[in-house]
Structure 1
């Protein structure tokens, strides 16, 4: 009963704020990949799942209204026939051949002219109606004609349909990207009969691909009636990116101020494959992170591998003499496959296999367990994660949702014991994001993250609440627990003529967490109201500051900026 009461209270507060005012949304996006919490400070659940790759400094924004980038092609004239004109003749049956689509519509057009006397003009009109039917449904360069030298005395008349198709695809402008990458993505939606809308959709998907900066296309006549040649000119996006970041977004126990450097390549081997590496460090923390993924089909299915390694040391004065330190690493393999993929919608499923290990020490080199579950400070989990992603966007809004089921299994020597807290577990993560354009210049963002489990989890799999990424105004990882719900709203209000240059960001954040066994945090629920400022004085340079006023749990606050509700970040990405 207490569980349901907590959920009801949380959602009442959250959605009351959503209904009263569009001011302010959820904590920031998760930090760049690689900025993870060390094992002695349990990691955020968002870091255990593969994420899309939005711009590192800005939230996803609604796409501009798409326009056709494929010029329409005029229907070519079909040859006339030598049927006698001005005379009527009996037609028992009209045989229409060569069509593979629009069957019911074509039959409906021809039926009134069968088993009756008709004129040649009526037959020509039927031919034109069939051609128009194809063109109206987007099947450019498709049409019908009446073959010559038919024996009308038999009462059978033939009409031939020629369905348009691509004779070839000419691709120009590629530098590093492989031709097969572009060709396969066009061919997927350019089958016979050739449909202009589907072909434009394929080209728009290429335009949205981060590997490609610009797409120009022209459709010309091929060597035979109905055949076409598509000439596509591609301008590739700069594939290499690098930058540095400095922020006070790390746990105070290992040093809240953290610097990082990252490099990324969006087309590493020319197959649209992505590679990125990052190092981050604070006074008591060093993290290394490497990711690689490669597409394996034209629907943007990908396989990937991720490795991260961290070493941390508690630097807080009351624990410094104990020389508490930890080491952690994660190796993850994943496969992701979109099932539907259009310029405005996507639904994908993914499967990941994670190996996560951590070891904690006291007095520098003595293995020691600080929580229930680990054996001599060692925690090991082997996890299978099944995820479903959904995205829908239009000119004014973006909706995204993710559901993930995680199963801790007894493979590759996980932590197994009789304490009730080990590597055998089940958990569910649900995430929802909403971006809404309130006016041509103002955006509202809303976000809800949930983790639910019936089990007592090792710290590697717990959810943490508090800090710039969840509930601002509180220290990073203020609450760590098995279950949690976090949400918030924010509004981005531009203060300069350029929307991205200077933004005022009022926000409201709230979260609650609880354990299935053991003691819960006091308070279990935290919330804050605050104001942020995002400034981009130069291209590639982003400065961000947030100040949150906490509503509860403020009696034991430290002296750091983060402890007192202030977060900042400076990010520079020159290319």
Structure 2
């Protein structure tokens, strides 16, 4: 029922969101765009007092600079953009840094009001977008567990002869752990009146059968009751009923090739429980069937020659575990080249323990990244330990800053422990703890300046070092028609391991919370007709270093704007997208979908000026082509509804985005 309430809530939220965004768009069209002119990098270069007859060059530029200031003074209602420039970063160039000729050359070539690239532009996104989850059919129980033969129980040994009737003092139960004596007695009383009334042997058989039926009804199909030999029985004594609660004697695995049989046995044994419960066993098999390590899975439960003991035979077909993914898109910052090429190789069962290793290489015209991770389950409850490492080298190729030779090196180290609190075929809830370390250095190659700070919070050598603990919670609810997923993360920045510490923020000491949500719902009968709602938000208690800030704009955020057009301490993003099939080619499992969307983002800073504009709003249309599980390609056109200054040189800045995902296996 709560799922239906969530559905109604999201439907209402969607209608309100569309109405709000529509009103925003209407008001924006009648509002004058803000003047985002800011000091250019040339201001910082020409602040240096040149000598030896170069005053004429300075005078000419100073005149232009004064004209810019006058222009800003003319329109007080539209303040200049608070985006970072060389001056606002506090960069001071001494006379001996640049030769006179180089200073004059830069003064002539670098004439722009474009903000200087920050460390964030040179680094890959610190937080990946939430993985899109598609509804999928759940494995039916009848295909997982075949009909079961009943368990053997010892024969009844009744006192006296079959024609006798006698009075008993009640029933005494032995070896029952599932139900209490009171519960079992109450079940018998519903059918047999044995208090102060004589009963027959047929009544005793019926009493024993009532206990057996209760166990079977609750899923304990291999459990049963019997009446053992009643030694020295006297009329008025209690009749003993012994309960034989069924157990698994052995689990046999067939069909496995590389996967360790204990990986399956340990998980099935926990699911079956002790005593053995068919309902729990089926649920455990359903969860195991959804594991990507298996292509198919079935089981058969049968009785053995030992009373109460059962044999479970599981037949599996392992799925291919090696995977390769080629990803082409224009989702990177234009500062280092927006066209991103990456290849990811992964093996989901490296040592036969269900352990996963992945390695990916990503390249743009101005950057190279390598990321590696290894994850291994350390318990049959799917508790996992994950080690991750990544390194990126970047240089700014975007004019006019390419002249400065801005370079950056960044890397991260992470150790994660995660544990599912509960996990079923329809829902799961996981808690995890990550200890992370992020480091970066920036420098200028121009005249071999070397290490240099580019963003607030970096030290004099252009370095940032963040040590943090990240506590996350993940919840997913799924069915064959919808998926609802949420992720929450509390981030505690620490003063540890030589982390960046400054007299005032930003530095490695901070607290932030980030929440992500996703709802995917099938529309109508066609499983390819979907509505997709996404939301992402962050709250911080103080100014953050650029690598921890919330980015808005780009391929995975508000389409229609440059990647990370807004970079703020606090932020909110929401998106609504509909996918409607317009063409099918069954022979190649091809589906073409049209994807209208509307997206909104809002950024706010803590104890420093907000960007101008601080809200982004876009709408647009896309095409998405999917061919089985091997190829997905999409092209999106985002139309910005709030003006934000950019170069308009790349496809990304013109609101055009593309993604190609190819899986050759």
| TM-score using structure 2 length | 0.78
Residues 488 and 509 of structure 1 are in contact (CA less than 8 Å); yes or no, is this contact kept in structure 2? yes
Give 2:500's aligned residue: 415
Give 2:237's aligned residue: 155
Residue 490 (str. 1) matches residue 577 (str. 2): yes
Give the superposition deviation at 1:63: 2.8
The partner residue of 2:362 within 275, 280, 284 is 280
List aligned pairs for 1:121-160, cutoff 5 A. Answer: 121-150=202-231, 151-160=233-242
Residues 530 and 580 of structure 2 are in contact (CA less than 8 Å); yes or no, is this contact kept in structure 1? yes
Give 2:96's aligned residue: none
- Relative to structure 1, is the Cα distance of residues 399 and 19 closer, same or farther in structure 2, using a 3 angstrom cutoff? farther
The partner residue of 2:473 within 388, 397, 410 is 388
> Matched residues in 1 for 2:285 and 2:405: separation?
58
Give 2:186's aligned residue: 108
Residues 151 and 309 of structure 2 are in contact (CA less than 8 Å); yes or no, is this contact kept in structure 1? no
2:184 match: secondary structure: helix
The partner residue of 1:304 within 367, 379, 386 is 386
> Matched residues in 2 for 1:166 and 1:311: separation?
56
Give the superposition deviation at 1:538: 6.7
Residues 230 and 240 of structure 2 are in contact (CA less than 8 Å); yes or no, is this contact kept in structure 1? no
The partner residue of 1:447 within 525, 534, 544 is 534
The partner residue of 1:473 within 560, 568, 583 is 560
- Relative to structure 1, is the Cα distance of residues 269 and 142 closer, same or farther in structure 2, using a 3 angstrom cutoff? same
Residue 261 (str. 1) matches residue 343 (str. 2): yes
List aligned pairs for 1:341-420, cutoff 5 A. Answer: 341-363=423-445, 365=448, 366-376=450-460, 377-420=462-505
Give 1:544's aligned residue: 634
- Relative to structure 1, is the Cα distance of residues 184 and 166 closer, same or farther in structure 2, using a 3 angstrom cutoff? same
Give the superposition deviation at 1:15: 5.9
> Matched residues in 2 for 1:226 and 1:346: separation?
32
Give the superposition deviation at 1:370: 2.0
The C-alpha deviation readout for 1:497-522, integer Å capped at 9, x for no partner, is 45862222111111101111333211
> Matched residues in 2 for 1:18 and 1:90: separation?
76
Residues 39 and 328 of structure 1 are in contact (CA less than 8 Å); yes or no, is this contact kept in structure 2? no
> Matched residues in 1 for 2:326 and 2:484: separation?
30
> Matched residues in 1 for 2:152 and 2:410: separation?
70
Moved more, 133-142 or 98-107: 98-107
The C-alpha deviation readout for 1:519-547, integer Å capped at 9, x for no partner, is 32111110111112111347512211111
> Matched residues in 2 for 1:76 and 1:354: separation?
53
Residue 434 (str. 1) matches residue 519 (str. 2): yes
1:122 match: secondary structure: helix
Give 1:89's aligned residue: 166
- Relative to structure 1, is the Cα distance of residues 119 and 448 closer, same or farther in structure 2, using a 3 angstrom cutoff? same
Give the superposition deviation at 1:223: 2.4
Residues 427 and 478 of structure 2 are in contact (CA less than 8 Å); yes or no, is this contact kept in structure 1? yes
The C-alpha deviation readout for 1:290-312, integer Å capped at 9, x for no partner, is 11110001111100111110011
The partner residue of 2:266 within 171, 184, 195 is 184
> Matched residues in 1 for 2:416 and 2:472: separation?
11
> Matched residues in 1 for 2:345 and 2:163: separation?
76
> Matched residues in 1 for 2:524 and 2:15: separation?
22
Residues 327 and 341 of structure 2 are in contact (CA less than 8 Å); yes or no, is this contact kept in structure 1? yes
Give 1:75's aligned residue: 150
Give the superposition deviation at 1:18: 5.7
Aligned length: 541
- Relative to structure 1, is the Cα distance of residues 500 and 100 closer, same or farther in structure 2, using a 3 angstrom cutoff? farther
- Relative to structure 1, is the Cα distance of residues 344 and 20 closer, same or farther in structure 2, using a 3 angstrom cutoff? farther
Moved more, 123-132 or 112-121: 112-121
Q: For the aligned residues, what is the CA RMSD?
A: 2.3
Give the superposition deviation at 1:316: 1.3
Residues 570 and 604 of structure 2 are in contact (CA less than 8 Å); yes or no, is this contact kept in structure 1? yes
List aligned pairs for 1:60-71, cutoff 5 A. Answer: 60-68=133-141, 69-71=144-146
- Relative to structure 1, is the Cα distance of residues 472 and 14 closer, same or farther in structure 2, using a 3 angstrom cutoff? farther
1:417 match: secondary structure: coil
1:229 match: secondary structure: strand
- Relative to structure 1, is the Cα distance of residues 333 and 374 closer, same or farther in structure 2, using a 3 angstrom cutoff? same
1:249 match: secondary structure: coil
Residues 185 and 298 of structure 1 are in contact (CA less than 8 Å); yes or no, is this contact kept in structure 2? yes
Residues 42 and 463 of structure 1 are in contact (CA less than 8 Å); yes or no, is this contact kept in structure 2? no
2:286 match: secondary structure: helix
Give 2:420's aligned residue: 338
Give the superposition deviation at 1:19: 7.9
The C-alpha deviation readout for 1:336-355, integer Å capped at 9, x for no partner, is 01111111121111111111
- Structure 1 unaligned segments of length 5 or more: list them: 1-11, 22-36
- Relative to structure 1, is the Cα distance of residues 492 and 554 closer, same or farther in structure 2, using a 3 angstrom cutoff? same
* Larger helix fraction of residues: 2
| TM-score using structure 1 length | 0.89
- Structure 2 unaligned segments of length 5 or more: list them: 1-11, 22-117
Moved more, 65-74 or 314-323: 65-74
Give the superposition deviation at 1:77: 6.7
Give the superposition deviation at 1:183: 0.9
Give the superposition deviation at 1:87: 3.5
The partner residue of 1:174 within 241, 252, 256 is 256
- Relative to structure 1, is the Cα distance of residues 210 and 543 closer, same or farther in structure 2, using a 3 angstrom cutoff? same
Moved more, 97-106 or 137-146: 97-106
- Relative to structure 1, is the Cα distance of residues 133 and 320 closer, same or farther in structure 2, using a 3 angstrom cutoff? same
